[in-house]
C-alpha cells in the first residue's frame, strides 16, 4: 500500500509538507492521493511570487480519472515550483514525496503548522477514508 513518511506533516486534503528551513516548506500530494487519482496527465502549478493562503486552492493535478484541486497547507509566497512536472506529470505517481513535489512556500504564519497532522494521524484519517 501507499507509504506515509514520518518526517512530513499532512493536510486533510491529502497534501504533504516538508520543512526545508525555518520558514520555507515544500508541498506535494500524498502517495495515497496519487494512487486514488491514477495516472497524472497534467499539473497546473501556481506562479513563483504568487501569494497563497491556507486551505485555498492554488494548483490542479489532473489524472486520467479526474481533475483535483490542490490546497495550500500554509499561507505565504510561492518561492519555487517543480517545472519538471509540466513535461513529466507522472513524476507525481512515481515519486510523490520526492521528484513529484509541486511547489515551495515561504510561510507567513508558522502557527498554521499546528493545524497539520502527523504521519500517524494521517494514516488513521486515510483508513477512515477507505471505509
Partner 1 sequence: MGAKTALYQEHLNLGAKIVDFAGWDMPLHYGSQVEEHYKVRGEAGMFDVSHMTFVDLKGERAREFLRYLLANNVDRLKSPGRALYTCMLNEKGGVVDDLIVYYFDETYYRMVVNAGTHDKDMAWIEGHAAAFDVSVTELTEVALLAVQGPDARSKVHDLLSEKQREKAEGLAPFNAVESEGFFISRTGYTGEDGYEVMVPADQAVDFWRRLHKIGVHPVGLGARDTLRLEAGMDLYSAEMDEETSPLEAGLKWTVAWEPQDRNFIGREALEPQYNATPARKLVGLILDDRGVLRAHQRVIVDGEVVGEVTSGSFSPTLGKAIAFARVPHDVSGKVLVEMRGKQLPARVVKPPFVRHGKACFE
Binding site for partner 1 (CB under 8 A): 38-39, 41-42, 44, 60, 62, 64-65, 67, 90, 93
Q: In a 3-state reduction of DSSP, which class is residue 35?
A: helix
Give me the least distance between CB of 126 and partner 1, in Å please.
16
Instruction: Choose between 38 and 115: whose C-beta lies nearer to partner 1.
Output: 38
Residue from 69, 23, 76 nearest 53 by CA: 76
Instruction: Choose between 75 and 93: whose C-beta lies nearer to partner 1.
Output: 93
Task: Give the span between the Cα atoms of 125 and 59, in whole angstroms.
Answer: 23
- Around Cβ 120, how many Cβ atoms within 10 Å? 11
Give me the least distance between CB of 101 and partner 1, in Å please.
20
Q: What angle do CA 130, 116, 104 make, to 5 degrees?
A: 105
Radius of gyration of the chain (CA): 13
Give me the least distance between CB of 41 and partner 1, in Å please.
4
Pairing of strands 103-107, 76-81: antiparallel
Instruction: Choose between 23 and 62: whose C-beta lies nearer to partner 1.
Output: 62
Give me the least distance between CB of 11 and partner 1, in Å please.
21
Instruction: Choose between 64 and 114: whose C-beta lies nearer to partner 1.
Output: 64
Pairing of strands 103-107, 9-10: unpaired
Give me the least distance between CB of 43 and partner 1, in Å please.
9
Instruction: Choose between 8 and 45: whose C-beta lies nearer to partner 1.
Output: 45
Amino acid at each position: 500500500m501507499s507509504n506515509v513518511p514520518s518526517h512530513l506533516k499532512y493536510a486533510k486534503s491529502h497534501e504533504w509538507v516538508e520543512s526545508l528551513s525555518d520558514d520555507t516548506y515544500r508541498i506535494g500530494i500524498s502517495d495515497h492521493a496519487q494512487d486514488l487519482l491514477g495516472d497524472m496527465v497534467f499539473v497546473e502549478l501556481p506562479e513563483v511570487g504568487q501569494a497563497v493562503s491556507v486551505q485555498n486552492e492554488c494548483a490542479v493535478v489532473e489524472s486520467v480519472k479526474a481533475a483535483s484541486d490542490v490546497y495550500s497547507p500554509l499561507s505565504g509566497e510561492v518561492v519555487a515550483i517543480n517545472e519538471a512536472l509540466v513535461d513529466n506529470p507522472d513524476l507525481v505517481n512515481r515519486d510523490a514525496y520526492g521528484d513529484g513535489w509541486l511547489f515551495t512556500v515561504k510561510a507567513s504564519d508558522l502557527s498554521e503548522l499546528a493545524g497539520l497532522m502527523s504521519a500517524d494521524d494521517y494514516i488513521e484519517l486515510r483508513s477512515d477514508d477507505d471505509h
